């Protein structure tokens, strides 16, 4: 885990890191990874990868529309909106 990786991850996750704390965070992350890395010592070649720790399968829905029109309420909880849309700073491709 180097500083460059930390910068990339912080950009990807849109989490701002205080430059003063960069070194500490890098070290902390490094330690976390070392800790988790112990798992690599376990012999897993005969074991199917697990997608979920619960030994259960999903409950599913039937195909029915149950949602109400909550347009007004939902737009209100957005940080910025007008009567029809959520508004965000202009995104140009």
Partner 1 sequence: MIWETVIGLEIHAQLSTKSKLFSGGSTKFGAESNTHVDLVDMGLPGVLPVANKEAFYKAIKFGLATGAQINQISSFDRKNYFYPDLPKGYQITQMTKPIVEKGSIKVSTENGEKIINITRAHLEEDAGKSIHDLFEGETGVDLNRAGTPLLEIVSEPEISTAKEAVAYFKAIRQLVTFLDICDGNMAQGSMRCDVNVSIKKIDDKELGTRAELKNINSFKFIEKAINFEIERQIAVIESGESVVQETRLYDSDKNETRSMRSKEEANDYRYFPCPDLLPVVISDKELNEIKDNLPELPEEKQNRYISEIGLESSEAKIISSSKAMADMFEEASKKTDDAKMIAKWLVGDISALLNKENIEIDESKLSPENFGKLIKRISDNTISGKIAKSVLEEVWENGNDVDEIIKAKGLIQIQDESLLEQIAIQVLDSNPDQVAAYRSGKDKLLGFFVGQVMKETQGKANPKSVNVILKKILS
Instruction: Tell me which residues touch partner 1 (CB under 8 A).
Output: 8, 11-12, 14, 49, 51-52, 54, 56-67, 69-71, 74-75, 80, 82, 84-93
Question: What's the angle, vertex CA 61, arms to CA 67 and CA 71, rounded to 5?
Answer: 15
Residue whose CB is less far from partner 1, 20 or 91: 91
Q: How far is the CB of 4 from partner 1 (least distance, A)?
A: 12
1 Cβ contact list (under 8 Å, min separation 6)? 26, 29, 30, 33
Measured CA to CA, the distance from residue 17 to residue 9 in angstroms comes to 10
Q: How far is the CB of 41 from partner 1 (least distance, A)?
A: 22
Q: How far is the CB of 17 from partner 1 (least distance, A)?
A: 16
């Amino acid at each position: 885990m180097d500083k460059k990786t930390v910068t990339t991850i912080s950009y990807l996750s849109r989490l701002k890191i205080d430059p003063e704390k960069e070194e500490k965070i890098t070290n902390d992350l490094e330690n976390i990874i070392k800790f988790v890395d112990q798992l690599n010592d376990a012999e897993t070649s005969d074991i199917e990868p697990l997608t979920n720790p619960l030994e259960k399968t999903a409950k599913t829905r039937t195909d029915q529309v149950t949602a109400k029109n909550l347009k007004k309420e939902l737009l209100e909880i957005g940080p910025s909106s007008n009567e029809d849309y959520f508004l965000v700073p202009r995104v140009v491709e």
